[in-house]
C-alpha cells in the first residue's frame, strides 16, 4: 500500500518523506501561489485556478486570497460558498462543504494530526480524518476545525472557536473546546431587522 493510499484510508502514513505526496503538495502550493498573486478583480483566472486545484466545485463561489491548502483534490465546495482572507485547509483527507457556507477570516480546517508518541511523530508519520460541513453554516473569524469533525446544517460557529467534536444541526456553538450554546429559533430571524418609525 502506498503512503497516499494509507493517507486516504485514515492510517498512519509518511507525509514528510514520501516523494509522491511531496510532489502533489508542491503542485497544490504552486497553484495557491498563482491564485494568491492575482489581482482581486481577475475573477476569470481565479475561477480557472480553483477549478484546477479543488476536487469539486459548484457554480457560485468566492475564495478571498490568500488561500492555502495541502493537496486541493480532497476539497469539495457547495454552491454559494464564500471564504474571507487567510483560509487554510489541510486536506490530507476529504473536506466537504455543503451549500451556503460562509467562512470568516483566518479560519483553518485541518484533517491532519500527529501521533502522541514522539518516536512515531519523529519518523514523519501522521494521520488524516475527514471533515464534513453541512448546508447553511457560518464560521466566525479565527475558527479552527480539527480532524474527524462533522458539522450539521444551519449552524453558526462563533469566532475563535476550536471545534474538536461533532456539532449537530440547527445550533449556535462556540468556545475552546467548541460547545453547543443554544438552538437557533424563529426569534433569530427578527434579531437584526430595524425599522424606521
Place of cell 503538495: 25
Q: Which three cell numbers stand for residue 140?
A: 466566525
Catalytic residue (one of 47, 56, 114, 179): 114
β-pair partners for 87: 67
Q: Which three cell numbers stand for residue 131?
A: 471533515
Q: Which of these, 2, 17, 9, lies nearest to 125 by C-alpha position?
A: 17
- How many Cβ atoms sit within 10 Å of the Cβ of residue 119? 8
Contact (CB, 8 A) for 154 and 137:
yes
Burial of 192 (0-12, 13-18, 19+ CB in 10 A): exposed
Contact (CB, 8 A) for 147 and 126:
no
3-class DSSP state of 24 = helix
Q: Which of these, 134, 142, 144, lies nearest to 112 by C-alpha position?
A: 144
Our answer to whether residue 85 is catalytic in this structure is no
Give the active site residues: 114
Amino acid at each position: 500500500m502506498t503512503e497516499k493510499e494509507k493517507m486516504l484510508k485514515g492510517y498512519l502514513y509518511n507525509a514528510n518523506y514520501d516523494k509522491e505526496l511531496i510532489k502533489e503538495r508542491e503542485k497544490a502550493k504552486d497553484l495557491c501561489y498563482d491564485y494568491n498573486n492575482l489581482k482581486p478583480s481577475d475573477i476569470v483566472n481565479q475561477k480557472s485556478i480553483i477549478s484546477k486545484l479543488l476536487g469539486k466545485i459548484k457554480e457560485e463561489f468566492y475564495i478571498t486570497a490568500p488561500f492555502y491548502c495541502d493537496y486541493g483534490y480532497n476539497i469539495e465546495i457547495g454552491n454559494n460558498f464564500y471564504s474571507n482572507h487567510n483560509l487554510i485547509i489541510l486536506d490530507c483527507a476529504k473536506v466537504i462543504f455543503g451549500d451556503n457556507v460562509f467562512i470568516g477570516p483566518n479560519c483553518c480546517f485541518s484533517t491532519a494530526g500527529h501521533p502522541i508518541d514522539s518516536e512515531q511523530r519523529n519518523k514523519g508519520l501522521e494521520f488524516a480524518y475527514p471533515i464534513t460541513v453541512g448546508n447553511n453554516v457560518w464560521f466566525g473569524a479565527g475558527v479552527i476545525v480539527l480532524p474527524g469533525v462533522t458539522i450539521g446544517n444551519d449552524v453558526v460557529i462563533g469566532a475563535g472557536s476550536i471545534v474538536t467534536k461533532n456539532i449537530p444541526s440547527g445550533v449556535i456553538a462556540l468556545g475552546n473546546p467548541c460547545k453547543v450554546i443554544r438552538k437557533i429559533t424563529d426569534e433569530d430571524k427578527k434579531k437584526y431587522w430595524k425599522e424606521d418609525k
